[in-house]
């Protein structure tokens, strides 16, 4: 398996291994995927259908260089909040949509609730098409909507209730598309959201966000709350340091649509798929 040459200080808590990362290397699956490797494009459905059985709460990241799908499971609270960062146009929002789409494949509506905060609600409208998706996708709010603050408050109350009981279902995923718009929220809502970033995963409430690497330096307070980082295309070494909170990392060129994540041993590079099912 080919990995990137980024180095990392494993003592930093925000660079810990992502224990939920999984490879599916069954020989039958491997054969099927390698048959399709010559194609330039591939879809979420094609990658997920090659995995039998598909794990519950599986989140597809993309396809590795060996043709195999790369998954994580939202199961270990140590993974914490997940941040996707990179330059404008590298595919951050699309990566979020792939992750959400794969969750809809691997989880029944009674097992999953998804809420999305975004500055461009129209980019997410397709994820509410069909009755099954509508049951899982609870809301799509603009950052500036009053309903966004109500949602954040409700999730904190849910998390606190779960900390006092053994109940952990359904799984809740809060998507923060363009984290820089967090400043649209009131101070109280911002503090509540910061609490969810830090402690939500302990109550099976998972936060996944994106940020433009050019804005990362201004949002260090927020970036420090994320435990898992996914890195996309960046032109500037300084931006890489701002995003990872580590100086001196070596850069490796990534194309738009390519990302890398720390696996516990190295940074692994993968390509995100198109949205959609079998073709």
What local confidence, expressed as pLDDT, does residue 119 receive? 94
- Find the domain containing 94 and state its range: 13-271
Residue 1 lies in a domain: no
% of the chain exceeding 70 in pLDDT:
84
State pTM to two decimals: 0.86
Phi, psi (degrees; rounded to nearest 5) at 73? -120, 135
Report residue 151 as tokens. 């949602």
Residue 3 lies in a domain: no
Per-residue model confidence as pLDDT tens digits over 42-71: 999 999 988 888 888 889 999 998 889 999
Residue 277 lies in a domain: no
Residue 173 lies in a domain: yes
Count of Cβ atoms closer than 10 Å to residue 3 Cβ: 15
Q: Which residues contact 232 (CB under 8 A, 6 or more apart)?
A: 84, 85, 86, 87, 90, 91, 92, 95, 213, 254, 256, 258, 259
Per-residue model confidence as pLDDT tens digits over 219-244: 999 999 999 999 999 989 899 999 98
Q: At what angle do helices 187-199 and 146-163 cross, to 10 degrees?
A: 40
Mean pLDDT confidence for 5-14: 30
Per-residue model confidence as pLDDT tens digits over 102-117: 999 888 888 999 999 9
What local confidence, expressed as pLDDT, does residue 96 receive? 97
Give the count of domains, the chain. 1
What is 80-144 written as a DSSP string?
-SEEEEESTTSSHHHHHHHHHHHHHHHS-GGGEEEEEEES-GGGGGGGG-SHHHHHHEEEEEETT
Report residue 30 as tokens. 């491997």
Res. 27 pLDDT band, cuts 50 70 90: very low
Mean pLDDT confidence for 15-38: 40
Mean pLDDT confidence for 240-260: 87
The CATH number for 194's domain is 3.40.50.300
Higher per-residue confidence, 164 vs 149:
149
Residue 174 lies in a domain: yes
Residue 7 lies in a domain: no
For residue 24, pLDDT over 50 is answered with no
Least confident window among 57-66, 120-129, 142-151, 191-200 = 120-129
Higher per-residue confidence, 139 vs 248:
139
**Mean pLDDT of all residues in the chain?**
83
Report residue 267 as tokens. 């940074």
Residue 2 lies in a domain: no
Give the separation between CA 140 and CA 21, rounded to whole angstroms. Answer: 27
Which residues are bridge partners to 258 per DSSP?
271
What local confidence, expressed as pLDDT, does residue 43 receive? 93
Residue 276 lies in a domain: no
What local confidence, expressed as pLDDT, does residue 167 receive? 74
């Amino acid at each position: 398996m080919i990995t990137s040459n980024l180095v990392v200080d494993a003592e930093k808590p925000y660079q810990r291994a992502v224990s939920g990362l999984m490879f599916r290397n069954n020989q039958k699956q491997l054969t099927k995927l390698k048959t399709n490797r010559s194609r330039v494009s591939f879809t979420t459905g094609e990658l997920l259908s090659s995995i039998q059985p598909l794990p519950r709460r599986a989140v597809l990241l993309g396809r590795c260089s060996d043709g195999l799908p790369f998954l994580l499971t939202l199961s270990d609270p140590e993974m914490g909040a997940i941040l996707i960062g990179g330059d404008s146009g590298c595919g951050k929002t699309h990566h979020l949509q792939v992750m959400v789409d794969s969750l809809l494949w691997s989880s029944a509506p009674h097992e999953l609730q998804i809420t999305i905060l975004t500055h461009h609600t129209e980019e997410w409208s397709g994820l509410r098409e069909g009755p099954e998706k509508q049951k899982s996708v609870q809301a799509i709010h603009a950052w500036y909507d009053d309903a966004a603050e109500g949602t954040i408050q409700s999730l904190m109350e849910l998390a606190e209730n779960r900390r006092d009981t053994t109940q952990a279902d359904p799984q809740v995923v809060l998507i923060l598309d363009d984290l820089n718009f967090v400043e649209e929220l009131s101070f109280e809502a911002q503090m509540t959201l910061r609490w969810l970033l830090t402690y939500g995963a302990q109550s099976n409430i998972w936060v996944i966000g994106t940020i433009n690497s050019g804005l990362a330096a201004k949002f260090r307070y927020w970036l420090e709350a994320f435990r898992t980082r996914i890195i996309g295309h960046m032109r500037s070494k300084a931006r890489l340091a701002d995003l990872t909170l580590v100086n001196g990392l070596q850069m490796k060129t990534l194309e738009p649509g390519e990302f890398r994540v720390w696996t516990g041993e190295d940074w692994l590079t993968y390509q995100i798929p198109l949205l959609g099912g079998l073709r």
